[in-house]
Structure 1
Amino acid sequence: MTIRKFLAKTHLVIGLSTGVLFTIIALSGALYTWEPEFSRLMYHQQVAEEGKPFISISEIRNTLEKTFPEGDFRTALYRDPESSIEVLLYAPGTYYLAQLNPYTAELIHLQDMNKGWINYVKKLHRNLLLGEAGREIVHWITLLALPMLISGLVIWWPANGWPRKNKFYLRWSLSPKKLNYNLHSILGFYASWILFFAVITGIYWGFGAVRTTVKQLSGETKINWETPLSSDPGTGQGAGNDAMLNRLISEYHAEFRGSEVRISIPHKKEDPIHLSIIDPNKGITEINHYYHDQYTGDRIQGNFLNGLSSEISTFNVINGMVYDIHFGSILGLPGRVLVFLGSLIAGSLPITGFIIWWAKRKKRPKK
């Protein structure tokens, strides 16, 4: 058996055995590419700008105590003047995102993040709605997709010479059988260059050995990270010091007007007040993290795992880029469109491939 025939057989076996699940993973991934837009619509994040100062942490706390007292207030995300303030709340067995009007503190929407179709799409992509067992299945299907992509490109390339023009564009006037073959072959060729990045980043997430190897090669294991801590004066004050929180969120949001600002609520005596400065037009690696003592308000400085973007380690750059590459956000909107189209095509390939196999099977003479 030649190498080409072996790869063709490999392509067929992997495609037939994983095709249905691969289609589900790919199509749910394509849909989840637009999660920010879906969330903005479904969670009612759009508000009318009123030209007034944003509400304080104290006002957020007052609203939550009246409308959802069982929620444990963790963080508040202050965004632009036309977006709600997003509040993270913990509850037994789940967590919630609450959307509050930034000018009136009115609760606009409360979402259990273990429910809702957007979250089901995410779980479908990550674990096929089967929990940890499903997560492992997704990881191995992602790994098997890599040899399937490579073998597909080898099959696409002519056995002799260079590919002709008809290998690069679709002709809709062909017979249904030939058109289906071209949909599989030509669209698969173009999508493969996008899917390579999605698959490799998926493998990085799915297998701890890959991340461990990258961590060791990048020198991350040799870095001694410090932990930002507040200095407890022993007076019993802190953790609920809204005046301190109000002052810091006001200062940071005024200083970084073009960015989103997330502030954490300390829950333990040694917890710092953690503020994240997020540029919505940049990736995860560009987020800047600041820490303040919850008792004095003084800034805490040190060699922190999550610190300033200018001081980020090589491993954390790779970690952040993996996320941005997987969803295409590393190239902004054009990148997300590419990932969306590539995932749509990927979801169609097992279907068109099965039709090709079935047609050939029917043509074989009976013994």
Structure 2
Amino acid sequence: MKILFRNLHLYLSLASGLVIAIVCFTGGVLVFEKELDQAWHPARFFVTPPATQQRLPLAQLVQAVQATDPKAKIGGVKVYADPTRTVEISLAGGPGSPGGKPEGGREGKAAGGKSRAEQGGAGHGPQGEKGKTDKGKGGGEGGRGPVFYLNPYTGAVLDKLNYRDTFFFTMMALHRGMVGGPVGKLVVGVSTLLFLFIIGTGLVLWWPATRKAVRQRMTMKWDASFKRLNHDLHVVLGFYSALFLFVFAFTGLAWSFEWFNNGIFAVTNSDPKGPEAPKSTLVLSGGQLTFDQAYIVARRQVPGALSYAIAWPKDSTEAVRVNTTSANAAYEGATDELYLDQYTGRPLGRLNFEDRNLGQRVRRTFKPMHTGAIFGTPSKIVAVVVCLLGVTFPVTGVIMWLSRLRKSKKKQLKPAAVAV
């Protein structure tokens, strides 16, 4: 039986090892995407607040963006409570963007994905929970328009970013296989499925036959020969990282296969759409709500939030959506949503994270679990280390395989030499 598992482990690894190594490497790079982006481009994200000057009205910041392109359609504005953070203003793009048609054609959000309020103003990182991308006019991933970063005290436009033009988009595209289009995405998805079987068969092969062998298979022997060291790097470190790699691979399937996403909601007996968002009451006289008015109402309704992402309605009946991040949110993505009448500013309702159905809550845990952000910086560090180990396992595994082949050939040649 063990020979069967060894063969499965070997040939599945040979078939998918290169893809797995690339996915692990790019995944490790993306774990600290936000932190690296802010470290490399601090002027894009941070300003020095003046001692006396107050923040400018959002309308003035919107005008500064529109001055760069009079035809630009504002899709969303994101304001942080942190006085040192810039204000992010995103333009409406294609499907899945603020102000555009929602990804997957659903009202307000993709199944288990992020609403347009969450996407609005988000300047970095893959935002769509379903992992779909579209080469929209805006140039952003998922068809999002470009994002402008403004100094909230002076109104100066500090930067304009198209996510597709960034290093991290390239890493994300490699990670998801999109560089090869639908075929590349399928290859990554199938390789991820195979990786789950590789991890399972690897644990079966690791399982020691005796108690004495347990310590040997859980301890690295750093002063051993190259062959033994390579063996320990593959077997011992493989054991310690197996659970983490399994979680990363399992959650990664949600970005590769629609059936996997559907399965989450089927298993949890939940509706992917969730409750229908309330509608605005059309007012014939008077104008629409402004971003400033929406921000004031949102702060009154949800005081103390870390950020307010305001997404403008795409038609005359939709509500203004304000996505808020609580200071005590359980993890990244555990956000709340406030709905405002686009004409009167009257609060129409609120959908807190804990009020979402089980399927949506489970689905939203996938991204922080996949990226290692579920427990903050400590779990991110673990994720990076495990991803780097994941890059090495195909290499150490091939070395072990070649060593066995050489050993087998020597055994075959030895009887032949004796016969002569």
TM-score (norm 2): 0.79
Question: Which of 353, 375, 395 is the aligned partner of 1:351?
Answer: 395
Distance 2:165 2:369 in 1: 27
Distance 2:4 2:207 in 1: 15
Shift of 1:138: 1.0
Distance 1:174 1:356 in 2: 15
Distance 1:48 1:139 in 2: 44
SS at match of 1:129: helix
Question: Which of 252, 259, 268 is the aligned partner of 2:306?
Answer: 259
Shift of 1:60: 1.7
Question: Which of 84, 87, 96 is the aligned partner of 2:86?
Answer: 84
Residue 339 (structure 2) aligns with:
291
Distance 1:138 1:280 in 2: 36
SS at match of 1:81: coil
Shift of 1:160: 3.8
Distance 2:214 2:271 in 1: 50
Distance 1:38 1:232 in 2: 45
SS at match of 1:164: helix
Residue 203 (structure 1) aligns with:
253
Shift of 1:169: 2.4
Question: Which of 254, 268, 275 is the aligned partner of 1:218?
Answer: 268
Shift of 1:164: 3.1
Q: Is the 8 A contact 2:20 2:391 kept in 1?
A: yes
Distance 1:63 1:266 in 2: 21
Residue 231 (structure 1) aligns with:
281
SS at match of 2:216: helix
Residue 249 (structure 1) aligns with:
295
Shift of 1:189: 0.8
Residue 185 (structure 2) aligns with:
135
Distance 2:21 2:327 in 1: 31
Q: Structure 2 vs 1, CA of residues 70 and 131 (structure 1 numbering), >3 Å: closer, same or farther?
A: farther
Letter in 1 for 2:334: E
Shift of 1:206: 2.5
Shift of 1:284: 4.5
What does the per-residue CA deviation read over 1:132-188, in whole Å, with 9 as the maximum and x for residues that have no partner? 221111111111111100111111122344633232222221111211111111111
Distance 2:261 2:252 in 1: 11
Letter in 1 for 2:27: G
SS at match of 1:275: strand
Structure 1 window deviating more from structure 2 (199-208 vs 7-16): it is 199-208
Structure 1 window deviating more from structure 2 (139-148 vs 105-114): it is 105-114
Alignment of 1:21-170 (within 5 A): 21-43=19-41, 44-50=44-50, 52-79=53-80, 80-91=82-93, 92-94=137-139, 95-127=145-177, 129-161=179-211, 163-170=213-220
Shift of 1:362: 2.5
Question: Which of 298, 316, 322 is the aligned partner of 1:269?
Answer: 316
| Number of aligned positions between the proteins | 357
TM-score (norm 1): 0.90
Q: RMSD of the TM alignment (CA)? A: 2.2
Structure 1 window deviating more from structure 2 (251-260 vs 109-118): it is 251-260
Shift of 1:234: 2.8
What does the per-residue CA deviation read over 1:324-349, in whole Å, with 9 as the maximum and x for residues that have no partner? 21112111111111111111111110
Distance 1:337 1:223 in 2: 34
Distance 1:84 1:28 in 2: 28
Distance 2:212 2:251 in 1: 31
SS at match of 1:341: helix
Q: Is the 8 A contact 1:285 1:312 kept in 2?
A: no
Q: Is the 8 A contact 2:297 2:345 kept in 1?
A: no
Q: Structure 2 vs 1, CA of residues 346 and 12 (structure 1 numbering), >3 Å: closer, same or farther?
A: same
Q: Is the 8 A contact 2:176 2:188 kept in 1?
A: yes
Shift of 1:41: 2.9
Letter in 2 for 1:169: T
Q: Is the 8 A contact 2:193 2:249 kept in 1?
A: yes
What does the per-residue CA deviation read over 1:105-151, in whole Å, with 9 as the maximum and x for residues that have no partner? 21111111111111111111112522222111111111111110011
Q: Is the 8 A contact 2:354 2:361 kept in 1?
A: no
